[in-house]
Amino acid sequence: TCGICVEKCPFDAIEIINLPQELGDEPTHRYGENSFALYGLPIPEKGKVTGILGPNGIGKSTAIKALAGEITPNLGNFDEPPGWDAVIDEFGGTELQPFLKGVRDGDIEVARKPQYVDQIPASFDGNTRALLESADERGVVDELAERLSIEPVLDSDIDTLSGGELQRVALAATLARDADFYFLDELTPYLDIDQRVTAARLVRELADDDRAMLVVEHDLAVLDLLADSVHVAYGEPSAYGVITPPKSTRNGINEYLKGYLDNENMRIRPETIEFEEHAPRMSSRSETLVEYPGMSKTYGDGDGGFTLDVEAGEINRNEVLGIVGPNGIGKSTFAKLLAGRLTPDGGELDLSLDIAYKPQYVEVDQHMRVDAFLSSITDDFGTSYWETEIADPLQLGRIMEQNLTDLSGGERQRVAIAATLSRDADLYLLDEPSAHLDVEQRVLAARAIRRYAENHETSVMVIDHDIYTIDLLSDRLLVFDGEPAQHGHASTPLGMRDGMNEFLANLDITFRRDENIGRPRINKPGSQKDKQQKRDGEYYYTQ
C-alpha cells in the first residue's frame, strides 16, 4: 500500500483498502438516536497490563464505564436495553465473558484514575496525606509516596499542588486501592521521563500481583514499556469508535503509526508517521536570533534555595530548540531570564526579546468563546493563511463556538498553542504542548510548530517530556541536569545526537530502533543492546 490514495488505487496496483466507516452490525453500546456508538470492548486480563491506543473521543471512557458496570451496554437498543444477560450472550465464548459475569454479579472491584487530575481539588478538601490514607486499602501508601517522591507534599493541601504532583498523588491513591481491575486514564501528563518510567514500573508490579490493569496512554515510549498487549481504537471521534481485538504491543503501536491495521485491513490515516534514525545534520544557514551570556540565578539568599547555572549559548532563527530535563530543574527560570522577567545574579540581562509563553498548566477563567478569544489576539484570525497554518493543524474548526471554560484538557491545550503562536514575538516558548493531546494531535501540533518557525523565520523553544514529540520537533537540544529543587545546570544548545546522548545518559536509558518502522523503543536495562550502546556512548541515534 503506497498510502497516497485512500480509496481505490487508480492504477489498480494495490488492493482496495477499507476505510473506517460505521459498521452495519449492531454496536456494543449506543447512547441514543444519532448518538455515539461503540463497537467492541477491551479485554482486561489478570496479571497483565492491557493498553488502549486511540484518539480522544473514540469511546475509551465509554468502554471503561461498561467494564466497571457503571453503564450496561445496550447492544444498540437504547429504547429497550436488553440487560446484562444478553450482553454476556453476545460475548459468549470470548475471554471477556467471565469478566462480564463478574461485573453483572457485582464481584468485580474497580479502581480508576481520572484523566483530568486538575479537577481533583474541586472534589477533595484536605491535604495529600488525608487523600492517600482514605484510599489506602492495601496499606502501601508510605511506600508509594516514597517511590513517587510525594513525601515533600504530604502535608500540603490538595488545592496547592502542581499538576505533576497531583498526577503522582492520583496514581498513588488509585494503586493503593484493593481492586481486581484498575483503570488508568493517562499516566504521564506533567510527569518528567524519570517519573514516567517509575509510574510505568509501579503499574507493572501491581499487574504481577495478579490484578488486571487497563491503561490509556498517548506517550508511545511509555506505552511500549508498560503494556503486554494493546487494543487499537479507531473510527470517527464523537460519532463512533471500534475497539480492535488485542494486538501485541509492538504490532499495535507500529500499525497505529503506519496508519494501517493489518488484521482489519483498514487504513486509519492517509500517511505514516516516521522517525529519523539518524540525527538531523545541523544546518549552517540559520542566522542567530540572539546570543546570551553564561549566568546564574539563585532564589532567596542561597541557603536552601534553588540555584540555576546557565552556559552561554545562542538561539538561531528558523529553529525549534527542544528543552529537556527533569521537573524542578530551572527550565521555566531560564525562560524568565531570557524574557527579562527575572534578573540574573549580579547584573542585568537586556536581550530586548519579546517572548510569547505557553505555560505548562493551561488555566482558563474567562467566559469567552474560542473564536472571540483568538480574534482578540491576532488580526490574522480568520484569514486563509491563519486557517492553514494554525487552525487546521490544531483542529480548532469544531470547537470555535465553544466556551473556553467548557473545553476538555486536550482542547484547551490546542487553543493555548494557537494563541501563543498567534502572538507577535521574537521567541516562542511552549511548555509541555503534548500534555493531554492524543498521538495524532501531537504529530499535527509538532508539524504546525515546525512550519511556523520556518515560515516566520522565528525561533521556538519547546519543553516536553514525550521523547517522540521532542524527536519530531527539535533541530537542537538544550539539556538541563542537576538536582531538582536544589540546583540546575543548562547546557549550551547541542546538536540532536550530542543532546540526546547527554540527556539519556543522565537518565541511564538507551533506545533501540524497531526494525520495521524505525520507531525508537526503550531498551531493557542490562540487555545486550543496552550495554553495547552505553559502551559506544550512543543512547538514541544508532546510525
Instruction: Please report, as ranges, the residues that interact with ligand ADP according to CB under 6 A.
Output: 31, 35-36, 56-62, 238, 299, 306, 327-333, 485
CB of 189 to Mg ion, least distance (A): 13
End-to-end CA distance of the chain, in Å? 27
Partner from ligand ADP, Mg ion, none contacting 332, C-beta within 5 to 8 A by type: ligand ADP
The helix (H) or strand (E) run that includes residue 358 is strand 355-358
C-alpha cell at 82: 436488553
C-alpha cell at 131: 487523600
CB of 338 to ligand ADP, least distance (A): 12
C-alpha cell at 316: 538561531
CB of 162 to ligand ADP, least distance (A): 9
C-alpha cell at 340: 527579562
Query: Parallel, antiparallel, or unpaired for β 355-358 and 313-316?
Result: unpaired
From CA 458, how far away is CA 372, in angstroms rounded? 26
From CA 275, how far away is CA 272, in angstroms rounded? 10
CB of 226 to ligand ADP, least distance (A): 18
Query: Parallel, antiparallel, or unpaired for β 240-243 and 37-39?
Result: parallel
From CA 243, how far away is CA 280, in angstroms rounded? 37
From CA 138, how far away is CA 125, in angstroms rounded? 23
Q: Which is nearer to Mg ion, 217 or 530 (CB)?
A: 217
Q: Which is nearer to ligand ADP, 157 or 387 (CB)?
A: 157
Q: Which is nearer to ligand ADP, 96 or 141 (CB)?
A: 96
Q: Which is nearer to ligand ADP, 255 or 411 (CB)?
A: 411
CB of 60 to Mg ion, least distance (A): 5
Q: Which is nearer to ligand ADP, 307 or 422 (CB)?
A: 307
CB of 39 to Mg ion, least distance (A): 17
CB of 68 to Mg ion, least distance (A): 13
Partner from Mg ion, ligand ADP, none contacting 211, C-beta within 5 to 8 A by type: none
Q: Which is nearer to Mg ion, 113 or 489 (CB)?
A: 113
Partner from Mg ion, ligand ADP, none contacting 40, C-beta within 5 to 8 A by type: none
Task: Kindly list the distances between the CA atom of residue 491 and the CA atoms of 105, 191, 310, 465, 494, in Å, as whole numbers in the listed order.
Answer: 59, 21, 7, 17, 8
Query: Parallel, antiparallel, or unpaired for β 212-216 and 240-243?
Result: unpaired
CB of 64 to Mg ion, least distance (A): 8
What residue type is 217 in one-letter code?
Answer: E
Contact residues toward Mg ion (CB under 5 A) are: 60-61
Cβ–Cβ contacts within 10 Å for residue 516, how many? 12
CB of 428 to ligand ADP, least distance (A): 16
Partner from ligand ADP, Mg ion, none contacting 330, C-beta within 5 to 8 A by type: ligand ADP
The helix (H) or strand (E) run that includes residue 183 is strand 181-185
From CA 482, how far away is CA 246, in angstroms rounded? 41
| Strand spans (E) along 359-475 | 427-431, 459-463
From CA 474, how far away is CA 307, in angstroms rounded? 27
C-alpha cell at 265: 485491513
Partner from ligand ADP, Mg ion, none contacting 238, C-beta within 5 to 8 A by type: ligand ADP
Closest CA relative to residue 168, chosen from 204, 205, 131: 131
Q: Which is nearer to Mg ion, 238 or 272 (CB)?
A: 238
Q: Which is nearer to ligand ADP, 91 or 190 (CB)?
A: 190
Q: Which is nearer to ligand ADP, 368 or 485 (CB)?
A: 485
Residue closest to Mg ion when measured from CB atoms: 61
Residue 488: CB partners within 8 Å, gap ≥ 6? 306, 307, 308, 309, 325, 329, 330, 331, 333, 480, 481, 482
Dihedral (Cα; 103, 105, 106, 108), 10-degree rounding? -50
CB of 190 to ligand ADP, least distance (A): 10
CB of 119 to ligand ADP, least distance (A): 14
Q: Which is nearer to ligand ADP, 58 or 207 (CB)?
A: 58
Q: How many residues does the chain have?
A: 543
From CA 295, how far away is CA 443, in angstroms rounded? 35
Q: Which is nearer to Mg ion, 63 or 308 (CB)?
A: 63
Handedness of CA 149, 153, 158, 162 (dihedral sign): negative
Q: Which is nearer to Mg ion, 218 or 331 (CB)?
A: 218
3-state secondary structure of 399: helix
Partner from Mg ion, ligand ADP, none contacting 328, C-beta within 5 to 8 A by type: ligand ADP
Rg (Cα) of the chain, in Å, rounded? 24
Partner from ligand ADP, Mg ion, none contacting 506, C-beta within 5 to 8 A by type: none
From CA 317, how far away is CA 370, in angstroms rounded? 30
CB of 331 to ligand ADP, least distance (A): 3
